A and B are shown apart, each in its own frame.
Chain A
Amino acid sequence: MSRNGPAALAFHALFIAFILAPIVIVVAVAFTPEGYLSLPTNGLSLRWFRAIADYPEFVRAFRDSLWLAALSSSIAVLFAVPAALAVARYRFAGREAVLAFFMSPLMIPHVVLGIAFLRFFTTIGLGGTFIGLVLSHIVIVMPFALRLVLAASVGMDRAIEHAAIALGASPFTMFRRVTLPLILPGVVSGWVLAFITSFDDVTMTVFIASPSTITLPVRMFLYIQDNIDPLVTSVSAAMIFLTAIVMVALDRLYGLDRLFVGAGR
């Protein structure tokens, strides 16, 4: 690969600055010692991080977001594994259609999904409930879970499963002792990506959340509509830190570029 010239590197530097600017500013403001929006030019302070404790609604929203993300990711993965195995292993009529169907939530704007779920859940009596929220999140995270589990299933040497069968393993034993351990990295990455997608979602969730079932991003969104103060920046900064940790872990486990680019072709 030939090197990049100075012009290219200058462009690149500007691009990176552009990408990092809003994130850096949020984190910077979060550390301000002042009582209003300002840069921490007079020194760093954790006051706004401590202040989060004074706002139980943020803490509760955070906890609810975690539960929601964990539940919907786990259930999505549970459904995705057999579906991925079906698509990876068998070439059956309708396979393309089935795959497209599972990937369809990616193509439907979250606004539309939010409205559709609002109408649906209200009609069947699940309006504003946690269950409704979980169901809707399962839908939007499923494509991510499926894509990664599928990539792992496809990448596995099928002959290994045949070897297990030839040695006398039942289908279930083969799955438990051979297939599952081998696709596990894909399953775990799929779960993590699903978790993050669920945790971060705001556009769809804002339609179906209710005062008793609010997620953290929605809580923040509603708060920002009225005023922007350092509190919301410290919450954001906390979220960014957590995401950064998960991101590094995910990169180590799987590779971020493989996650976004190479998976599920």
Chain B
Amino acid sequence: MPFLELQSLTKLYGDAVAVDGLSLVVEKGEFVSLLGPSGCGKTTTLQMIAGFLEPSAGTIRLGERDLTRIKPAARGLGIVFQSYALFPHMTAAENVAFGLEMRGVAKSEKAKRVAEALTLVGLAGLSDRYPRRMSGGQQQRVALARALVIRPDVLLLDEPLSNLDVKLREEMQVELRQIQRTVGTTTILVTHDQGEAMALSDRIVVMNRGRVEQVARPTDIYRAPASTFVANFLGKINVLPAIVTDGVVSIGASRWPAAGTTTNGAASVSIRPERIIFSESAGLAGTVKSRIFQGHHWLLHVATNAGLVAVIAPNDGRAIPDENAEVHLGWRADDMALANSERAS
């Protein structure tokens, strides 16, 4: 039984289509991310689920209930806003207690649950602090506690980590995942950061211009992107022109066995930069045009007669080719994804 189901959710602004017939099934306890560039419709979708925006068509079902016509105050969802939206004139504890107050929870029970929620997010000592005296990370946790304390059926997160600096963001990602696993709340996260989506989600919904491009587990999406858009959006990818002739793929002067069934003719090959290695003699020949040190790895761009190829080499002590060095690029045949040019998406 699906827990949250979106059926053909659509939002039109005049002639402009913000969300185009989005259908999605979310299981209980799942962590799903809506991922895409700005304007892809992910925030609009979240707003419709929350009830702040009325869908032009489609339905939203939570278990047995049809949420579509229900007012936001009655939907019982937990929301963490991008700006946190804490009540500046209330302390952390009062902020967290607000939802319980609206539900008429008894005073002692309320105090207990507020304390539990603040401990869950690691802010046990800050209950009497006002938002303006808190750091961004702390405010974010209060917002999370406030949303979780009401034991919502679904937790909605609108780019909650985008205002934090990089290090803090990474820490919060880990914590967020742990908290979600502890509490078990079904969660929908909206983000434009593919790293974040991959780190946190059970499944990712990649969106582009109001449409769903692919829904799958992070590892599956990464390994087998359904379209060029998805391939480019998650991680870096090289797309090289190739010619298929009787089971052999020719890229430039190099030859590769073709995996799976392929039709002859022009095609394109996708290969992740981190799957490419520098080999002695076999493989695609080229010259190193640039190499950039990125701490954990090196990023090189190699000019070949199939175009400019990006290569990621781990910084584990191995020799890295210099600029202008002549190299050969090799990879495993099944790390390569093949698409016929006519069908290319």
- Residues of A with Cβ closer than 8 Å to B? 157, 159-160, 162-170, 173, 177-178, 181-182
- CB of B27, distance to nearest CB on chain A (Å): 23
Interface majority SS (helix, strand, loop, mixed), chain A? helix
List the 5 shortest-distance A-B pairs measured between CB atoms, nearest first: A168-B102, A167-B99, A159-B85, A163-B85, A166-B79
- CB of B99, distance to nearest CB on chain A (Å): 4
A-chain residues with CB within 8 Å of residue B127 when the two chains form the complex: none
Residue contacts A-B, CB under 8 angstroms, 28 given: A157-B83, A157-B85, A159-B81, A159-B83, A159-B85, A160-B85, A160-B86, A160-B87, A162-B72, A162-B81, A163-B81, A164-B87, A166-B51, A166-B73, A166-B75, A166-B77, A166-B79, A167-B73, A167-B98, A167-B102, A168-B73, A168-B74, A168-B102, A169-B73, A169-B98, A169-B102, A177-B98, A181-B89
B-chain residues with CB within 8 Å of residue A177 when the two chains form the complex: 98
Give B83's nearest chain A residue, CB to CB: A159
Task: Check A162–B99 contact: CB distance below 8 A.
Answer: no
Asked if B150 lies at the interface with its beta carbon under 8 angstroms from chain A, I say: yes
- CB of B45, distance to nearest CB on chain A (Å): 16
Given the interface pairs A159-B81, A159-B82, A173-B102, the reply to whether A166 lies near B72 with Cβ below 8 Å is: yes
Task: Check A182–B85 contact: CB distance below 8 A.
Answer: no
A162 to B72, CA, bound (A): 9
Task: Check B102–A163 contact: CB distance below 8 A.
Answer: no
A257 to B82, CA, bound (A): 32
A-chain residues with CB within 8 Å of residue B87 when the two chains form the complex: 160, 163-164, 178
A-chain residues with CB within 8 Å of residue B50 when the two chains form the complex: 166
Given the interface pairs A157-B85, A169-B73, A181-B89, the reply to whether A163 lies near B79 with Cβ below 8 Å is: yes
Task: Check A167–B85 contact: CB distance below 8 A.
Answer: no
Give B71's nearest chain A residue, CB to CB: A165
- CB of B162, distance to nearest CB on chain A (Å): 14
Task: Check A182–B89 contact: CB distance below 8 A.
Answer: yes
A-chain residues with CB within 8 Å of residue B167 when the two chains form the complex: none
A177 to B74, CA, bound (A): 18
Give B150's nearest chain A residue, CB to CB: A167
Give A171's nearest chain B residue, CB to CB: B73
B-chain residues with CB within 8 Å of residue A166 when the two chains form the complex: 50-51, 72-73, 75, 77-79
Task: Check A168–B99 contact: CB distance below 8 A.
Answer: yes
Extra contacts, 17 of them, besides A163-B85, A164-B98, A168-B102 (Cβ < 8 A), are A157-B85, A159-B83, A160-B85, A162-B81, A163-B87, A163-B146, A166-B75, A167-B73, A167-B98, A167-B102, A167-B150, A168-B74, A168-B76, A169-B73, A173-B102, A177-B98, A181-B89
Given the interface pairs A165-B72, A168-B99, A173-B102, the reply to whether A182 lies near B79 with Cβ below 8 Å is: no
A167 to B102, CA, bound (A): 7
A-chain residues with CB within 8 Å of residue B78 when the two chains form the complex: 166
B-chain residues with CB within 8 Å of residue A181 when the two chains form the complex: 89
Interface centre among A157, A159, A178, A182 (most CB of B within 10 A): A159
A171 to B86, CA, bound (A): 18
- CB of A75, distance to nearest CB on chain B (Å): 26
A173 to B86, CA, bound (A): 16
Give A184's nearest chain B residue, CB to CB: B89
A-chain residues with CB within 8 Å of residue B72 when the two chains form the complex: 162, 165-166
